[in-house]
Amino acid sequence: MPRRLVLALVIGFGIILILALSAWILPGMLRPQQIEAPETEAVLNAQRNLPFQILIPAYLPFGFERATVAIRTDLEGPSSQEMVQLVYNHPEGVSLTLSEWLPAEGEGIALVDAASAGVRRCNCMCTDATLCSTTRLMTDSGPVRIRGETSDPAILSEQHVAVILNTLAPASGLLTYTTLEEVPLSAGLPPAEEIPVGENGVQEVVLVASPGGYTPVHFSVKKNIPVRLEFRILGNVGCGNELYFQYGANKTDFLSILNPGDSAVLEFTPEESGDFLFHCPHFIYQGVLTVID
C-alpha cells in the first residue's frame, strides 16, 4: 500500500476519533452540572443556635460564589427577633442578600396559606416602610420569612430574584441550578391541584387573583380534554386584573377584567403535556398549569 495512502488513512481515522470523542465528552463538559450546594456545611453550622432552619436557593445564576457566602447571625429582624443574613457575590460586582427570620404576629402580610404563597414586593409586606424598597422582594416558606435584594437590578434583575426565592429549600441534600432552563416552572409551588372532568366532559376551574396571589397557583388538567377557565379578581390586585395564560408552547391567551365583580372566560383544549406559566403583565403574579397525559 502506498505510503501516502497509509498516512491519509491514519490521519482520517484520527480525525474521526477526535470528532467522536468531542461529541461524547464536550456536551457533558459544557452542560451545566447539577451539584450539591457547597455552602451546606457552613449553613448547617450557622443554624445550630437559631430557632429556625436556614433556607438557601437551589437556583443562583452561573458565576455566583456559593462556597464563599457571607453568613451573619448577629442581626435583628423587624420585630427585634433573631435574623440570619446570607450574602452571595458575583465577580461582576453584583450581590444577592437574603435575610431570614420568624415573623412576629401581625408583622406585615403573613402568607401562611399554601394556595396564596408566593413572592411579593417587600413594600407590600413590611410594617415599617423605611425597611423596604421596590427593589426588594419577600416570600414566606413555611414559618420562615425571607427578603431578597439585589445590589444591581441591571445585572441581577428582579425577575431573577423572584425565581431565586421560589427555589429556597434546606441546605442538606440540596442540588443546585445555574441556569433558568434547569429550574422547573413549578419550583416553590405547592403540588398541582387536579381539576376533575365534569359530567359534561369539560374540566372546569375558577382562577382567582387576590392580593395574596393566584388560587389555585398550580393546577393540572388532562390532555385532549376541553377546559373552561373562569378568571376572577378579589380585592386590590393592581395589574393582577390582566392575565396571560399559556397552555401550549405557542398557545397563549390574554384575559382582562375591568370591574371586581366581573369575570372572563377562556375555553381551550390542551394538546401538549408539560408545565406552562400564567402571569400578570409584570410577572408579579405567577402560577403554573400542568397538562398531564
Q: How far apart are CA 276 and CA 208, in angstroms?
A: 17
The CATH number of residue 201's host domain is 2.60.40.420
Residue 33 falls inside a structural domain? no
Residues 163 and 82 both lie in one domain: yes
Domain boundary among 182, 210, 227: 182
User: Apex CA 272: angle with CA 268 and CA 273, to 5°?
Assistant: 115
Cα separation values, 41 from 44, 54, 85, 152, Å: 5, 12, 16, 28
Q: How far apart are CA 40 and CA 43, in angstroms?
A: 5
Among residues 190, 178, 176, the alpha carbon closest in space to that of 142 is found at 190
| Residue 4: per-residue pLDDT | 61
| Residue 32: per-residue pLDDT | 45
User: Apex CA 52: angle with CA 46 and CA 57, to 5°?
Assistant: 70
Residues 78 and 149 both lie in one domain: yes
pLDDT in tens, 77-127: 988 999 999 999 999 999 999 999 999 886 754 333 333 346 666 544 444
Cα separation values, 139 from 22, 166, 183, 254, 270, Å: 44, 8, 18, 27, 31
| Residue 151: per-residue pLDDT | 93
Please check whether residue 108 is in contact with residue 166, taking contact to mean a CB–CB distance below 8 angstroms.
no
Residues 49 and 172 both lie in one domain: yes
For 76, the grid coordinates are 435583628
**Total domains in the fold of the chain:** 2
Residues 227 and 97 both lie in one domain: no
| Residue 7: per-residue pLDDT | 57
Residues of the chain with pLDDT under 70: 1-35, 106, 108-135
Residues 252 and 273 both lie in one domain: yes
Residue 168 φ then ψ, to 5°: -65, 140
Residues 281 and 160 both lie in one domain: no
Collapsed DSSP state (helix, strand, coil) of residue 183:
coil
User: Apex CA 222: angle with CA 221 and CA 226, to 5°?
Assistant: 85
Residue 263 falls inside a structural domain? yes
Q: How far apart are CA 277 and CA 249, in angstroms?
A: 10
The CATH number of residue 148's host domain is 3.30.200.100
Among residues 152, 133, 146, the alpha carbon closest in space to that of 90 is found at 152
Give me the DSSP letters along 78-114: TTS-EEEEEEEE-TTS-EEEEEEE-PPTTSS----ST
Q: How far apart are CA 167 and CA 187, in angstroms?
A: 6
Residues 104 and 150 both lie in one domain: yes
Residue range of the domain that includes 224: 193-292
Domain boundary among 160, 182, 204: 182
| Residue 112: per-residue pLDDT | 33
